[in-house]
Amino acid sequence: MRFADYAKLYLTAGKGGAGSVSFRREKYIPKGGPDGGDGGKGADIVLQGDAHMNTLLDLRYKKFLKAPAGEAGAGGMKSGKDGEDIILRVPLGTVAYEFETRRLIGEVTEEGQKVVIAKGGMGGKGNTFFKNATRQTPRFAQPGEEGEEVVVEIELKLIADVGLVGFPNAGKSTLLASLSSARPKVADYPFTTLEPNLGVVQLSDFRSFVVADIPGIIEDAHQGKGLGVQFLRHIERNKILLYMVSSEGDIEDEYHILKNELKQYRADLVEKPSVLAVSKMDLKPGYDLDRKLDVDIPCVEISSATGHNLDALKEVIWKLLHGDGEAETEY
């Protein structure tokens, strides 16, 4: 499997190093004061954004991770060395949750951004730290703190301008291949697409936007049916939605089913700017539906096979993305 958008990790951050109990002992100074150094901090486990990555597949092979401990302090007020952090490179759009509570730990949205998902323990204080006017020879030091132990769920939510939403075999992958240089698997049977695909669409005047082809949604997908919610989350970060329905079916009914699935999954998704593409219009005589569609968003009737109205669809999407006035309601 080349693509992975989920990983479950069992993490143990590094333990802090112990503080040192030490006293200065030099020639002519037989009873020097305390000089025990502090222990080093235990290593963190960190996610770091990498714009060149598009999968969490590497994390599948790092299920159990234990970060190195900090070094113990030493005499001469020498502090121990901090443990070296474990850095996990992840795609932009990666979100980390605590497994049991689903508490959001953090999300990575920018190149180079770091999110600590398991904190290393602090190093213990050496006996020098505890010296005061009434306790001039402390014979104790702090042990290092234990590192955080946590089970973390890592999810990838693709960051794209446009999310393609439709039933299996509606022609989404064919459209993506026609609009961009992406080459998703295309075949005449449902669920050809089993993983999201990204494509960059080029327009005139050096304009471009990114489209994500989401695997097909079926009725009750929000309850986990079919490929379920594991792919619905990829729609969350898209700026606009491109609903796609085949001209062979009941267009209005299928559009409303798709919209309802998104609403049941997360109500605010249906508030995103949207456009409806009626695909496979080359199957209709004269590329004509013979009727006006009763939908509440701009509608473009297209054919990926012949290129019919694809340029018009690009322009409608561009206007919705950049708010350049109201898009035409029908093409």
Read off the tokens for 49: 């954004």
> Where do the structural domains in the chain lie, given as residue ranges?
1-156, 162-322
- pLDDT the model gives residue 3: 66
Name 21's Cβ contacts closer than 8 Å, sequence gap at least 6. Answer: 34, 36, 126, 127, 138, 139, 140, 141
Q: Which of 233, 305, 312 is nearest to 276 (CA)?
A: 312
Task: Tell me the two tokens of residue 249.
Answer: 């079916």
- Residue 236 is predicted with a pLDDT of 79
1-156 CATH: 2.70.210.12
Beta strands in 130-205 (DSSP E): 149-156, 162-166, 197-202
How far, in Å, CA of 22 to CA of 140, rounded?
Answer: 9
DSSP state of 185: -
User: Which CATH architecture is the domain 162-322 placed in?
Assistant: 3-Layer(aba) Sandwich (3.40)
Alpha-carbon span 84 to 103, nearest angstrom: 26
Residue from 105, 110, 112 nearest 11 by CA: 105
Residues in the chain: 331
Q: What is the pLDDT of residues 271-326, one digit of tens each?
A: 989 999 999 999 888 888 888 888 889 999 999 889 899 999 999 999 998 876 45
Residue 205's Cβ-count burial label (10 Å; 0-12, 13-18, 19+) is exposed
Residue 226 CB partners (closer than 8 Å, separation 6+) = 168, 191, 216, 217, 218, 220
Which DSSP letter does residue 128 get? Answer: G
Give pLDDT tens digits for 272-283.
899 999 999 998
Q: Identical fold at 1-156 and 162-322?
A: no
Task: For 237-293, give the DSSP string.
Answer: T-SEEEEEEETTS-HHHHHHHHHHHHHHH-GGGGGS-EEEEEE-GGGSGGG--SS--
**Dihedrals φ, ψ of 235, to 5°?**
-80, -20
Distance CA 96, CA 13 (A): 16
C-alpha–C-alpha distance, residues 285 and 287, integer Å? 5
- pLDDT, position 324: 62
Residue 159 tokens read as 């960051």
Which residue reads 């701009």 in tokens?
298
pLDDT along the chain (331 residues), means of 10: 78 96 83 90 96 84 93 94 96 91 92 96 95 90 96 85 81 80 46 60 85 66 46 77 89 89 85 91 88 88 90 92 63 57
Secondary structure (3-state) at 317: helix
pTM value? 0.68
Q: Would you say 118 and 88 are in contact if contact means Cβ atoms under 8 Å apart?
A: no
Q: Are 113 and 49 spatial neighbours (Cβ–Cβ below 8 Å)?
A: yes
For every residue of 166-181, DSSP letters joined together read E-TTSSHHHHHHHHBS
Give the pLDDT score at 187: 39
